[in-house]
Structure 1
Amino acid sequence: MASDYTDVLQKLCHHLKQFCEPDAQITPQTDLIHQLAIDSVKLLNLVMEIEDEFDISVPLNALADVQTVQELANLIHRIKSAQ
């Protein structure tokens, strides 16, 4: 299961790089809004890419509690594991 989470985290970081400055440092503790400047439009685009990548559906209300890369990776992993 850890390798699944690691895979989710790596793929998520890859997708996040498309929405950030080229020199942005992305770690599990990175704040999506304050450190990466991910606004609501970018977040929705990111979620669409994630849904395609992992063949999942992310409920928009679940995103309200997500602040960090790790929290988003955990959410994706939980949804993916529930399938």
Structure 2
Amino acid sequence: MTDETTLIPEISDVLESVTNKRVELSPEMNIVNDLGLDSIAVMNFCMALEDRFDISIPLNDMASVVTVADLANTIETLRSNA
């Protein structure tokens, strides 16, 4: 099982590919408030994460994702259930 600290750099790479900006992510960062992503950027980010990790993120799962740690845990759960 991968821990969130291993996934965060990969999540950061995906975010950079979507926003063209490098951001140092921390587990407690709020994805919307701290990263300043609008709804289109969030959707592009989600699609890029799905491609990178070969997962499908259900919309109801995304509703509970607030922080980068939440996102890393969701990705790990989806990968382990695949």
What is the TM-score normalised by the length of structure 1?
0.81
Sequence identity, in percent?
33
- The answer to whether the Cα contact below 8 Å between 1:19 and 1:38 also exists between their aligned partners in 2 is no
Matched, 1:41 2:40: yes
Indicate the RMSD between aligned Cα atoms, in angstroms. 2.1
Aligned-pair CA distance for 1:33: 1.1
Aligned-pair CA distance for 1:23: 6.5
Matched, 1:51 2:50: yes
- The answer to whether the Cα contact below 8 Å between 2:65 and 2:71 also exists between their aligned partners in 1 is yes
- The answer to whether the Cα contact below 8 Å between 2:50 and 2:56 also exists between their aligned partners in 1 is yes
Q: Deviations over 1:12-71 (max 9, x none)?
A: 111123455846442111111111112221111011111111111100121111111110
> Any idea what SS the aligned residue of 1:29 has?
coil
Corresponding letter in the other structure for 1:64? A
* Residue 72 (structure 1) aligns with: 71
Where structure 1 has 5 or more consecutive residues not aligned to the other structure, the ranges are none
CA distance in 2 between counterparts of 1:8 and 1:56 reads 14
CA distance in 2 between counterparts of 1:43 and 1:21 reads 14
- The answer to whether the Cα contact below 8 Å between 1:51 and 1:58 also exists between their aligned partners in 2 is yes
What is the TM-score normalised by the length of structure 2?
0.82
* Residue 10 (structure 2) aligns with: 11
